[in-house]
Chains A and B, each alone.
Chain A
Amino acid sequence: MTLRLKLVLIALVTLLLPWAGFQFIQQMELLLREGQERAQLSSARALAQAFVATAPALPATGRVAVLPDAPPVLLLDGSPDDWQDAALQPWPSVAPLGRVHLAARASTLYGLIEVHDPSRVRADPDPLAAGATDHVELRLGAGDRRYVYELGNAAPGPLQVRVDAPDAPALRGEWVETAEGYRIEFSLFLPRDGLALAAHVVDAGATGGTRSHPVFGDPGRGEDTLLLWLDDAGFSRALQPLVPPGARLRVLAADAHVLGKAGNLDVGDIASRTPWPNSWIYRALLAPPLVDASDYAWDLDTLDVDEVWQALSGIEASVWRPSNNERTVIVAAAVPLRWDGAVRGALVMEQSSDALLVIANDAVAKLMATSLIAVLVASLVLFGFAGILSFRIRRLRNATERALRPDGRLDPKLPHLQSVDEVGDLSRSFARLLDELGGYNDYLRTLASKLSHELNTPLAIVRSSLDNLDHEPLPPEARVYADRARAGADRLWGILRTMHEASRMEKAIKAAEAEDFDLTRVVRGCAEAYRGIAGNRQVHMMLPESPIRFHGAPDLIAQALDKLFDNAKGFTPEGGWIRIKLALDVEGVEISVANSGPPLPAKMQERLFDSLVSMRDAGSLRAAGEVPHLGLGLYIVRLIAEAHDGSALAYNLPAEAGVEFRLRLKGMPR
């Protein structure tokens, strides 16, 4: 991974900015929403108190019966036939006893109770001994009042009613004996605030005891009171004056049954969560979890939602849901309704809430835009910085790589040496390192000539001593050793001379004066001279007809040719060939000396022109008594080529035909 890429990745940290802003907006949105909810809850609470103060009290417990409309023609004749059209209320707990129908019309409650009771214990006609006979006990709660009706006949006929209070609402009906038991059909005038109804079937046993079966409610839970609610009952009327504008209220009974509702919303409700196309940001990032609008539909009989149950358990709750206007949501607040400190129902207030969304949406959009710009700018700046940094480091790296040239010499031209930052430090460190390396290389390079220089004096002592020894009388045996000593000293002297030659050549090359000359003539002269010393090896010349003007040192070129020819001759077998070629190149001239002979080993090709590198087998030459080959010839060739702004290269000819050494020269600088 490049530095640039890394820094760009780091630039991604700036994405934290929009994230933080988003968190802030979300928090703000949450706060605003909480404020809204609290406000709505408190107004709902106030409404609930007002409602409790003005509206009829709800029963403490019990179920709510929505009374269907009574059939249009209903005769109180104890016959169930005219109830056929009426919606039958399912009263599961009544089932073993028979069936129960309740209906209402114009403040009058109609009821049909069918009791299966095989043991008939009928009351005496008079006095009615209800306590020991089969009868139905009906309790009516109207506001604070409680009335108890006992319905029991001795024989079929008009219903005999015993009531505990003289001001009790009038109840009349018919008693009919059936095959399974008896049936009661009755009508009861309901006062405006008459709401709660409970019924018990009292079954007198043959033994004289009685058993009481609640008709309404679940006997296991002791709920025997039925909360009656008529469509035109007083709750809605009681709610009407309380409704704030743009809101709607619902009063719920303890079982979440809707008892009354009033008011209108400003916006339409929607049944489903249709996505709003424009506020996707808000929806994607901020929108609170919205409840399904269908749970709050206006025409529901029962609001079976968590918030209502929570309110019914005594804790206020609120919830948001979408409206058909994308910029508006509906807040629903549910508060408990308490009478005498006991929760008997709940009030649900719904109100539309706007502006919040818009603010949040706009804020998010602006945040997004500024963040995007900030991220872009930061990324660009970092990218640029990274680019500059990596460019500088790359430059330094390239310079460092170039500094150590393939031939092992140093060319330290490092950038950023003046920079005061770490790259500058690095560059300076490299420069120091290269300086020391260069010093060491120089030491190594001059070691040979220094060494030869230092060895010269002791060698001169040896040689002059041997010269003197020649003039001393020596026994022939000793003369042999003196000769050997001389041979050894001569060889040593030859080695030193060769070692010294490189440094002398370097100096000579430096001191060389460039001149314009005809390169063809120089090469031709050399090549012709080589013919005489090539023995039985053929020397081919491939030279241009026309003269080539060249700016350089002809002596040096000739010396380089000498070395190349000498080298070629050494590797060319008897009867082989040597080819000397001169040609104009694109940038200058190319002189090549090729010869038949063994190819170069691959690893030698690059180092061949280094100092003290030789391909020749030193052992075999030493055996021949010659000065060992130190590999300085080709090194000098390279120095000469470089003095002419050129290069020296060695190649194997195709098909192992031989070896070619090429000098590419551009000429000395003028």
Chain B
Amino acid sequence: MARQIAIVEDEPAIRANYSDALRRLGFEVQTYASRPEASSGFDIRLPDLVLIDIGLGDEPEGGFELCRELRQKSATLPIIFLTARDSDFDVISGLRLGADDYLTKDVSLPHLTARINTLFRRVDALRRPQGAEATLKNGDLSLQPERMRVTWKDVEVPLTVTEFWMVHTMVRHPGHVKSRDALMRDAQVVVDDATITSHIKRIRKKFLAIDANFDEIETMHGAGYRWRA
């Protein structure tokens, strides 16, 4: 049975474009133009993944509100924020509400579908019994690519898809400097340098929240970042 994706987006053209693209990939797509409409739809049935625009019609923060409602209904439902906004504040607000990823609308459709597929893979992996899967280990870090799960000193680090991919890129080759371009490519985002910097900063913060002495991600000024060997 085809997976169901819900798109909550007030811009009809974008809504239609995304739903067309996703349907072409074999997903079943439901579209909603406003928060009440989406809420009543989700009351009937929860989709397998939700794409939410933050500003919905005359509700500038409608997306956040919707995300909160969804998390109450399901803790595991993959939620991706999709918005024209890309300020750090919006990003942090969205992620605090439990979104799995945060994409600006300038993301290309291939990038978007890559994320969606990844999230579905992760959901599948989470459903499978643990153990069979390959695990990357480096010191206190343990990384499970399929489940997109990262633990530091056996405590799970809540990373978004983008952040997970960045950590994954660095950890795969510890000691190697990964340039911003490489991080961007692997995380399948096209953003400016400042955004990469703030992503790295957020990743560090998440590790630091678990371990105050965390200092594995090293900044190589002018070159990029690397995971200490």
In angstroms, Cα B13 to Cα A229, docked, is 144
**Contact of A457 with B106 in the complex, beta carbons under 8 Å:** no
In angstroms, Cα B64 to Cα A488, docked, is 33
**Contact of A463 with B108 in the complex, beta carbons under 8 Å:** yes
Given A501-B192, A559-B194, A465-B13 contact (CB < 8 Å) = yes
Residue of A nearest to B190 (CB): A497
**Contact of B109 with A529 in the complex, beta carbons under 8 Å:** no
A468 at the interface (CB under 8 A from B): yes
A528 at the interface (CB under 8 A from B): yes
In angstroms, Cα B108 to Cα A493, docked, is 11
| Interface size of B in residues (CB-CB distance below 8 Å) | 30
**Contact of A507 with B109 in the complex, beta carbons under 8 Å:** no
Partner of B195, one of A460, A468, A504, A555: A504
**Contact of A453 with B192 in the complex, beta carbons under 8 Å:** no
B71 at the interface (CB under 8 A from A): no
**Contact of A558 with B106 in the complex, beta carbons under 8 Å:** no
A46 at the interface (CB under 8 A from B): no
**Contact of B221 with A460 in the complex, beta carbons under 8 Å:** no
**Contact of B223 with A460 in the complex, beta carbons under 8 Å:** no
In angstroms, Cα B21 to Cα A463, docked, is 12
Residues of B close to A459: CB separation below 8 A: 106
* Nearest CB of A to B209, in Å: 16
Residue of B nearest to A503 (CB): B87
**Contact of A461 with B17 in the complex, beta carbons under 8 Å:** yes
Residues of A close to B104: CB separation below 8 A: 456
A526 at the interface (CB under 8 A from B): yes
Given A461-B17, A471-B24, A561-B222, A501-B105 contact (CB < 8 Å) = no
**Contact of B17 with A468 in the complex, beta carbons under 8 Å:** yes
**Contact of B108 with A508 in the complex, beta carbons under 8 Å:** no
**Contact of B222 with A526 in the complex, beta carbons under 8 Å:** yes
A651 at the interface (CB under 8 A from B): no
In angstroms, Cα B186 to Cα A180, docked, is 164
In angstroms, Cα B192 to Cα A562, docked, is 13
* Nearest CB of B to A643, in Å: 13
Interface of A is mostly: helix
A425 at the interface (CB under 8 A from B): no
* Nearest CB of A to B158, in Å: 21
A339 at the interface (CB under 8 A from B): no
In angstroms, Cα B88 to Cα A558, docked, is 20
In angstroms, Cα B221 to Cα A521, docked, is 9
**Contact of B221 with A558 in the complex, beta carbons under 8 Å:** yes
Residues of A close to B87: CB separation below 8 A: 504, 507
Q: Interface readout for A451-483 with B: 1 if CB under 8 Å, 0 if not? A: 001001101110111011001000000000000
Residue of A nearest to B192 (CB): A501
A525 at the interface (CB under 8 A from B): yes
Residue of B nearest to A557 (CB): B221
Residues of B close to A465: CB separation below 8 A: 13, 17
**Contact of A467 with B88 in the complex, beta carbons under 8 Å:** no
B211 at the interface (CB under 8 A from A): no
**Contact of B24 with A522 in the complex, beta carbons under 8 Å:** no
B128 at the interface (CB under 8 A from A): no
**Contact of B108 with A467 in the complex, beta carbons under 8 Å:** yes
In angstroms, Cα B195 to Cα A596, docked, is 32
* Nearest CB of A to B8, in Å: 15
Residue from B24, B84, B85, B219 whose CB has the most chain A CB atoms within 10 Å? B84
Residue of A nearest to B177 (CB): A529
Residue of B nearest to A553 (CB): B197
Partner of A468, one of B20, B193, B197: B20
A527 at the interface (CB under 8 A from B): yes
Residue of A nearest to B108 (CB): A467
* Nearest CB of B to A473, in Å: 13
Residue of A nearest to B111 (CB): A467
Q: Interface readout for B84-96 with A: 1 if CB under 8 Å, 0 if not? A: 1111100000000
User: 10 A–B contact pairs at CB < 8 A?
Assistant: A460-B105, A471-B24, A496-B106, A497-B106, A504-B194, A508-B88, A508-B198, A525-B221, A559-B194, A562-B193
State the A residues within 8 Å of B (CB): 453, 456-457, 459-461, 463-465, 467-468, 471, 493, 496-497, 500-501, 504-505, 507-508, 511, 521-523, 525-530, 554-555, 557-559, 561-562
State the B residues within 8 Å of A (CB): 11, 13-14, 17-18, 20-21, 24, 84-88, 104-106, 108-110, 192-195, 197-198, 219-223
- Per CB-CB distance, the 5 closest pairs between chain A and chain B, nearest first, are A526-B222, A529-B222, A467-B109, A464-B17, A460-B105
